[in-house]
Amino acid sequence: MNAGKWKLDGHYLESCTCKDACPCLHLGNPTEGSCTGLVAWHIKKGVYENTALDGLNVVVALHTPGAMADGNWKVVLYLDESGSQPQRDALAKIFGGEAGGHPAVLASFISEVLGVEHVPIHYQASDGEVRLRVGQTASTVVHANLGQDGKPVTLHNHPLAVAPGFPATLATSESLRHQAYGIELDTGRRTAAYSDFSYTGP
């Protein structure tokens, strides 16, 4: 593996077609039999070798025919078009799994990359809400689920985690859309989650 040292800290979102709490997080089967969704990362502070990655965004649209832990993911990778070529190259290496760390674990589930695009990505996280827009192709808006004390419901120590070590805030999508590469989404009132994340590699 020919990859330099890197570190990313930021906020992530996942929004999918499962109803209620997503069984995939517990290595279960998707509620709809298959799972289709978006996973997005906003990098608050990041560096790959000497290339700063602060403020950039990455999104993966994915479809899996069964349990996510069984692999066979088909994905589209969207990289922030505001990044320079060295920044885009660094993000492609990291989120394509070539640079080690937890993204390489996630990439090991992928069987086919349908496409890689550079597009405008808008990611906004505020108190209890996350909004994502990926060019004209994809979008989602999610709201935190509130518990008996009025605070967000969180999930800890789940075995299939995008952000290991961080409690995931469970949420519900207001809308979820993607129209490209045969990954078709146009729904809402489905499961979502978000949290901070921290990755290092290789």
31: nearest Cα among 189, 138, 190: 190
List pLDDT tens digits, range 28-59.
889 999 999 999 999 999 999 999 999 999 99
Extents of the domains making up the chain? 6-201
With cut-offs at 50, 70 and 90, classify the pLDDT of residue 148. Answer: very high
Using a pLDDT cut of 90, give the percent of the chain over it: 93
Q: Is residue 20 predicted with pLDDT exceeding 80?
A: no
pLDDT at residue number 2 = 65
Under a CB-based contact definition with an 8 Å cutoff, are residues 42 and 57 in contact? yes
With cut-offs at 50, 70 and 90, classify the pLDDT of residue 21. Answer: confident
Read off the tokens for 190: 């489905």
Q: What is the mean pLDDT of residues 120-149?
A: 98
- What is the secondary structure of 12-58 as a DSSP string? EEEEES--SS-GGGGT---TTSSEEEEEEEEEEEEEETTEE-TT-EE
pLDDT at residue number 176 = 98
Q: What is the mean pLDDT of residues 158-178?
A: 97
Read off the tokens for 74: 């088909």
pLDDT at residue number 58 = 99
